[in-house]
Amino acid sequence: MIIHKEGYKSIAISVIVFGLINVLSFYFVSPYVPILSLLLFIVTLCLLLFMISFFRIPSRKLTIDEKAIIAPADGKVVTIEEMQADEYFSDKRIQVSIFMSPANVHVNRNPVSGEVVYSEYHKGKYLVAWHPKSSSANERHTVVYQHDGKELLVKQIAGAMARRICNYLQVGQAANQTEEMGFIKFGSRVDLLLPLGTNLQVKIGDKTKGGVTVIANW
């Protein structure tokens, strides 16, 4: 396991805060209320370990398959429905939504290989990630891949806790399946808009692993 580059600053700040709190606690709290000092140490250590864990990139065998659409994120499938596209596309699409809790790995990966034909950031609200309107109302970044004549849209959507969406793709770039497309800090959601008739391989409630789980076949 390694730590993602987006976590270096956050972890460094967390280590400094952890050290300051516990040094002050050792000198000013521990002599009078040692149990409180111990409790502060345990709580702050747990928070520091959570911060480190949040930015982890676990070692895993990634799935490479040109006929498959691979999960762009770890999480839980919370939506599978036919919907009217409201960005880039003007037709109906199958929406598959993956909810990412703060405990999930938050690296986002390219679900397919292909050319990036659209990449746009949108300011927005911070509704809870499972809210029906979060897909169109929340802060988000939308990417469209063109693969073998077909197009796939992926939205990185901020949640109530998420305050920064990172996306590394630019229009015209050649994207490789399972390589990093971006990162979302804290709880969030990723939507995929698939062509009608796509052969889905997941159902609501399924757990996904980014870069591993097959969402659908073309």
Q: Which residues are catalytic?
A: 188
User: E strand or H helix at 69, and its extent?
Assistant: strand 68-70
| Close Cβ partners of 30 (under 8 Å, ≥ 6 residues apart) | 37
d(CA 37, CA 52): 23
- Cα–Cα nearest to 121, from 147, 155, 160, 71: 155
- 216 and 198 Cβ atoms separated by less than 8 Å: yes
- Residue carrying structure tokens 């809790």: 101
Pairing relationship of beta strands 180-184 and 92-100 according to DSSP bridges = unpaired
Find, among 213, 217, 210, 218, the residue nearest to 188 by Cα. Answer: 210
